[in-house]
Amino acid sequence: MIAASMTGFAQEQPPIVPGAVWTDTDGNPINAHGGGMLYYAGTWYWYGEIKKGDTWRVPGSNWENNRVNAGGVSCYSSKDLLHWKYESVALAPDKNDSTADLHISKVIERPKVIYNKKTGKFVMWMHIDSQDYSYARAGVAVGDKPEGPFRYIRSERPNGNMARDMTIFQDDDGKAYHFYSSEENQTMHICELTDDYLSHTTNDHRILVQRAREAPAVCKYNSRFYLFTSGCTGWSPNAASYAVADSIMGTWTEHDNPCRGTDADSTFHAQSTFVLPVPGETGAFIFMADRWNKNDLEISRYIWLPLIFNPEGMPHVQWKDEWKLSGITGN
Ligand code: DGJ
């Protein structure tokens, strides 16, 4: 468990420095943007978008449509959330077939992986799009090992709905839910996945109707569900907000920005991507976000900060120039 392993190295534990260049155990900058975490068999796996090479504006765009060639999905592993070993390109892009969902000319964003106990498979969902973002679909891939390789299955519009920014939330009862920005990014949807996690059910619920939120990241604390989102301003940061629900398919109540401290009004110049529960530590979460560099997306950075709940169950994300995991685990 993390608590035990953290106790072991608490003394020499390096700090987490949000926004710094984070390198893997080979010394290369970690390339895993819009990412998500899987905790499996005592190891964390970090999956993210590989953004490599030149950034350019898609010709004819009347908005900040900057991009790099789709690089697929990377996978890194760690035993302590501090030292990250590069594992693989878990899902490779397609360099040849320009009609393929995974072609380098397409958009592959916000990959999230969960493990299905019933099938023994690792399932990756991601946002798949065309350069102009009109395709608006969810793609799914499956693997036998956490580090992949993942086999791409298909993309779809869940129940016919547009699907862009997304996350997957796996509940304690094994049910999994796809949160996705839909209806031209105006309304968020939550759709329950099938038991094998490979398809959508028709249990598809509209929330944050006409609120124009994206970058969803979800956690559960004290039997309540918390959804963190950003506004829709391309690669430019804006203020986060969150919503709370007693039941995942129930009523979500909106609240203002949970961020506190320097640059809280721009989510610390970043955009949410995942909230990681620290196993074995009640109420300890890490808020994970991307500080996009819209002119050179490859050198976008990562912002991780402690997410703390106050006694009323309200979450706060406090800016810290640097912090130690031991500070939130008590070890
Ligand atoms: C904001 C989204 O959150 C990102 O994942 C990406 O799609 C950019 N928009 C593209 O501008």
Q: Round the average pLDDT of the chain to a whole number and report it.
A: 95
CA of 107 to the centre of ligand 1 (A): 10
What distance in Å separates the CA atoms of residue 110 and residue 44, rounded to the nearest whole number? Answer: 17
Domain boundaries, the chain: 2-9+16-330
CA of 297 to the centre of ligand 1 (A): 11
> What does the pLDDT average to over 211-226?
98
Nearest CA to ligand 1 atom 9: 234
Nearest CA to ligand 1 atom 11: 234
Would the pLDDT of 7 be above 60?
Answer: no
**pLDDT value of position 329:** 61
Atom of ligand 1 nearest to the CA of 63: 11
Q: Which residues line ligand 1 (CB under 6 A)?
A: 34, 109-110, 165, 214-215, 234-235, 271
pLDDT digits (tens, 9 = 90+) for 29-39: 999 999 999 99
Atom of ligand 1 nearest to the CA of 215: 3
What are the beta bridge partners of residue 47?
36, 75
CA of 75 to the centre of ligand 1 (A): 20
Nearest CA to ligand 1 atom 10: 234
CA of 14 to the centre of ligand 1 (A): 31
Residue 130 is classified by DSSP as -
Nearest CA to ligand 1 atom 1: 234
**pLDDT value of position 1:** 28
For residue 4, what pLDDT band results from cuts at 50, 70 and 90? very low
**pLDDT value of position 330:** 54
For residue 198, what pLDDT band results from cuts at 50, 70 and 90? very high
pLDDT digits (tens, 9 = 90+) for 296-308: 999 999 999 999 9
> What does the pLDDT average to over 15-30?
98
Atom of ligand 1 nearest to the CA of 230: 3
Residues 6 or more apart whose CB falls under 8 angstroms from that of 3 comprise 279, 280, 281, 329, 331
What distance in Å separates the CA atoms of residue 191 and residue 205, rounded to the nearest whole number? Answer: 6
**pLDDT value of position 6:** 41
Is residue 211 within 8 A of residue 227, CB to CB? The reply is no
What distance in Å separates the CA atoms of residue 267 and residue 319, rounded to the nearest whole number? Answer: 9
Q: Could you give the percent of the chain with pLDDT greater than 90?
A: 92
CA of 235 to the centre of ligand 1 (A): 6
What distance in Å separates the CA atoms of residue 127 and residue 140, rounded to the nearest whole number? Answer: 9
For residue 5, what pLDDT band results from cuts at 50, 70 and 90? very low
In angstroms, the Cα distances linking 111 to 36, 82, 209, 257, 320 are 7, 21, 24, 25, 27
The first and second tokens of residue 220, run together, are 């559960």
For residue 222, what pLDDT band results from cuts at 50, 70 and 90? very high
> What does the pLDDT average to over 73-91?
97
Would the pLDDT of 185 be above 90?
Answer: yes
Q: Please tell me the total number of residues recorded for the chain in this structure.
A: 331
CA of 2 to the centre of ligand 1 (A): 32
Atom of ligand 1 nearest to the CA of 271: 3
pLDDT digits (tens, 9 = 90+) for 36-70: 999 999 999 999 999 999 999 999 999 999 999 99
What distance in Å separates the CA atoms of residue 232 and residue 165, rounded to the nearest whole number? Answer: 10
Looking at the domain that runs over 2-9+16-330, which CATH code has it been given?
Answer: 2.115.10.20
- φ and ψ at 274, to 5 degrees? -165, 150
Which residue out of 271, 273, 297 has the highest number of ligand 1 atoms within 8 Å of its CB and is therefore the one to mutate?
A: 271
pLDDT digits (tens, 9 = 90+) for 109-141: 999 999 999 999 999 999 999 999 999 999 999
Is residue 133 within 8 A of residue 214, CB to CB? The reply is no
